[in-house]
Amino acid sequence: MKLKYKFLIIFLLLSNIPLILITWFAYNRYTSLLESQLDQISENLIENAVDAVDSAIVDINRVTEIFTFYSESKDSIVDDLKKYTGKTEYTDYDVFQSNKNIKFICQNLIYSSDYINGIFVFTPSGEVLGYGYGNNIDIYPDYSPFEDEWYKNAVDAKGKIITDGINTKNYIINAAPSITFYRALYDVFSHEFLGVLVTDCSPGIFDLGNVNTMPDNVMLSIQSGHNQILYSNADLLPYNFSNHSTIVTKKPLSLEPLTLVAAINYDALYKEFGASRLLFLAIAVVCVLVFLVISILLSTSITRPISYLSRCMSNHDSNNYITETKYLNKTDEIGTLFNEYNAMLQKLNSYIKREYQNKLITLDSQMKSLEAQINSHFLYNTLESINSIAEIEEVESISIMSMALGNMFRYSIKTQSELVTIADELGHVKDYISIQQIRFSYHFKVLYDIPEEMLSLKVLKLIMQPIVENALYHGLNYCSTGDCIKIACRAEGELIYITISDNGCGMDGDQLEKLRQELLEPAQFKELGQRTKQSIGLKNIHSRIELYYGQSYGLSISSVPDEGTTVTLRLPLLHLDRK
């Protein structure tokens, strides 16, 4: 069987069989999950509706509790209401002042709520205090509530909130159908009866339209103890909620005897989601057909370049390179095979030459390494011999210079660690200075300001001597423009600052700016054995510090013409025991 047909069978098995199994499993799972989700959604909807109604009841309760709040101020509501218990005398001015105080509170409560029409207090003495806002409502003058059923029920409730459902109150001017809440008020300390608080609200207080996420399938209603409907969306429903598939749930509310009744039509819900099941099956059938077409195309597209490559590889000519650009430009595994085949031919043609070149390079590197070792030992031994002869001949300057140069050379070729102590680095600087002082007949001096406790701190190797050399050659200009170099160290927190300054010619602004810009340039590597002129100077030191410690460390330069130059090294504080 050809490779093309093998791939076709494999693709069909790998795609359609799992697809059929997944479709069967997913369909059953979808059905069960749909039922579970519908139950969960219904339960959540009912709970949200209960929370919404209870939240409105809590708001009403909060409003009524404000009128029982006792305050020691002269504007206390309780003190105002105590005047009208029938035990004390009061004047019309007292009524005016009380109405003024209560009206202010009522206005704030009404304006902060979308559903409160008015708030009134019916006192035992017959005075009515409060404020009406919605539809300009107010209480009829000379109205006496004492014999009305709502008043008696409120008194009998002993401070609990009650409601009489949606109706039009005959004692309210410009009355409209509303829900009214009643609560008997008492002094919290003496428990003296102060009156009945009436909070008149629009029926929208219990509007559950925003909570009902399935308004066409769920009927929500709020009923009182006498089956009076305070809210219902039944008139907006398109379905019949009287069949066997409707489930009715009742939930008690925080304000007795109110109850939330929810009726859910599951037939309507399943009907809406039934189209999703058919769509699910249709998508599965389409996927099977699509996978069949894709399998044919894939098997053909995969085997065509492989067949072409096999024909090319059957030709044993080592110069038979692939020239089909459509295969060479591919970025997938097929393209990799073609490019690797060409690369393999190139490697075969250059293998012998490359092997000989590698051997020559290795041999040359070994020779250079051996030569460097020989030269190092030869130079160091020669310096030791010069020093011995100078001591025998009692030529102190030659002895000092050869010994210092030997120390510098030994220090520079040590490779145990890139970090050395400040004492070791200063020793290297002093060897260099001893040579230069003899050379310039002690025409310059070096001052040191280094605390004893800092000598054991570790710094990067070979970062001070090149700066001192710069100060001598460029700053003092070979002792023609200055005669002093100062080296100072200080520690600030977790940082070390090493300053090397001279009293030489200094630099003008252009020179200083050019040098600072060079320090900002990144370090460059062009070719082994080659270096730029700046690589052995300040730029090299700055780059080494940045590469070793990080970009927050390095050197900075300040200079004043005819006064001198100062180079400051900023390094982290490392103790002797740190590796």
pLDDT at residue 497, as a whole number: 96
The answer to whether residue 104 sits within a structural domain is yes
pLDDT for residue 396: 72
Average pLDDT (511-524) is: 84
Residue 480 placed within a domain: yes
Range of the domain at 64: 1-284
Is 503 inside any structural domain? yes
* Residue 379 scores a pLDDT above 60: no
Q: Is the pLDDT of residue 23 over 50?
A: yes
In the chain, the number of structural domains is 2
For residue 212, being part of any structural domain is answered with yes
pLDDT value at residue 513: 92
Distance of CA 271 to the CA centre of its chain: 44
Across the strands, what pairs with 564?
Answer: 560
In a domain, 381, yes or no: no
CATH number assigned to the domain comprising residue 123: 3.30.450.20
For 276-293, what is the mean pLDDT? 79
Q: Please tell me the least confidently modeled range out of 25-34, 193-202, 505-514.
A: 25-34
Residue 390 falls inside a structural domain:
no
pLDDT for the residue 413: 67
Assigned token pair, 475: 């700053």
User: Over pLDDT 70: what percentage of the chain?
Assistant: 79
Question: What DSSP assignment string belongs to 10-36?
Answer: HHHHHHHHHHHHHHHHHHHHHHHHHHH
Q: Please say which residue of 284, 309, 327 terminates a domain.
A: 284
Give mean pLDDT, residues 375-403.
64
295 is a domain residue: no
Asked if residue 223 has pLDDT above 70, the reply is yes
Nearest in space to 180 (alpha carbons), one of 172, 192, 191, 188: 172
Domain finish residue from 254, 284, 314: 284
pTM (2 d.p.): 0.44
Assess if residue 350 is contained within a domain. Answer: no
**β 484-492/445-449 pair status:** parallel
pLDDT, the chain, mean: 79
Other beta carbons less than 10 A from residue 380's beta carbon: 15
Report which residue type is found at 328. Answer: L
Q: Check which CATH number belongs to the domain holding 516 and give it.
A: 3.30.565.10
- Which SS3 state, helix, strand or coil, does residue 228 take? coil
The predicted-structure confidence for 475-509, as pLDDT tens digits, reads as follows 998 888 889 999 999 999 999 999 999 999 999 99
Highest mean predicted confidence (pLDDT) among 106-115, 191-200, 490-499: 490-499
284, 319, 338 — which closes off a domain?
Answer: 284
Residue 213: pLDDT band (50, 70, 90) is: confident
CA distance linking residue 315 with residue 324, whole number of Å: 16
Closest CA to 3 of 332, 299, 310: 299
